[in-house]
Amino acid sequence: MLTKNETRSVSALQDKRERDRLGLYVVEGDKLVREAISLGLDVEVVYGESAWIGELPSCLVDGAPRLVEVTRQELRRLSALVTPHGALAILRKPRAIWEWRSVESDLALVLESVQDPGNLGSLLRVAAWFGIADVVLSSDGADAFQPKAVQASMGAVFHVRVHSVDVRSFLGEAAYRGFPIYAATLAGESVYDAELGSHGLLLFGNESSGLSAESLAHASKRLAIPAWRDAGPGRDSLNVAMAAAIVSSEFRRRGTRAAALGQSRDLA
């Protein structure tokens, strides 16, 4: 049976300050909790309903350092969801260390002031889908370990390295080091026509105001996704996660094609 103190401790992790203080975050639902255990992540405790625990394979039971059976009512008190899905786990936040060499031969996603946790979770999914290992977040934006962001990421948060920084200073350092910075804007060169490299930073801004002038000043190229018809109500822009998916896809398509051409030359 859960104590009141334990319930309060889990509920407190809805607050970013408490997550940062303790270095912990919450993962909810059958799929995500199972995945966290199977990946061997740093799971502190798993709370599960008896039926859920009964269906858990023995390898996952053994992989959970502490497994606590709770009632449906107790799980509701722990959960941030309207309808909890069987289980909830507390994980220790990973300590991601940024290394500039990671963008010497690959891409990183840089997000300035993205505020909506759902959008951030979708952006983490985009990064994971396109094999972008590093996601850099401005410290004034949403937290990748906020419960809604974790849910929206559908487990992608387990597969990328998240870095929280002062984005403008970070971009200044990147520009000083000579790394390409591709800024997504409404008034840039078409991403389908622009010359794209195989490495660098893909920069996306706030949902309503886009990128700040200070961040744009560091961009080595501004990219836009052309609309197929004139802008109007409901057609003035794309959701930031949609835009990131399109831009990332084009970079990866070009990279795959370039790699294939290089192999063809080697075989010739």
Structure confidence by residue, pLDDT tens digits, 236-259: 679 999 999 999 999 999 986 555
Are 147 and 12 in contact by the 8 Å Cβ rule? The answer is no
User: Confidence class of residue 228 from pLDDT cuts 50, 70 and 90?
Assistant: confident
Quote the pTM value: 0.92
Give the angle subtended at the CA of 108 by the CAs of 17 and 227, to the nearest 5°: 105
- Residues contacting 175, CB < 8 A, separation 6+: 181, 218, 220
User: Confidence class of residue 83 from pLDDT cuts 50, 70 and 90?
Assistant: confident
Structure tokens belonging to residue 214: 């200070």
Per-residue pLDDT tens over the stretch 13-39? 999 999 999 999 999 999 999 999 999
Per-residue pLDDT tens over the stretch 43-60? 999 999 999 999 999 999
- Residue 109 pLDDT exceeds 60: yes
Q: Look at residue 261 in the predicted model and tell me its pLDDT.
A: 44
Per-residue pLDDT tens over the stretch 136-179? 999 999 999 999 999 999 999 999 999 999 999 999 999 999 99
Q: H helices of 30-143, where? A: 30-38, 50-54, 58-63, 72-78, 117-129
DSSP, collapsed to helix, strand or coil, labels residue 113 as: coil
Q: Which amino acid is at 192?
A: Y
Per-residue pLDDT tens over the stretch 169-200? 999 999 999 999 999 999 999 999 999 999 99
Give the angle subtended at the CA of 46 by the CAs of 40 and 49, to the nearest 5°: 130
User: Mean pLDDT of all residues in the chain?
Assistant: 93
Q: Which domains does the chain have, with CATH numbers?
A: 4-92 (3.30.1330.30), 100-264 (3.40.1280.10)
If one counts every other C-beta atom within 10 angstroms of the C-beta of residue 147, the result is 21
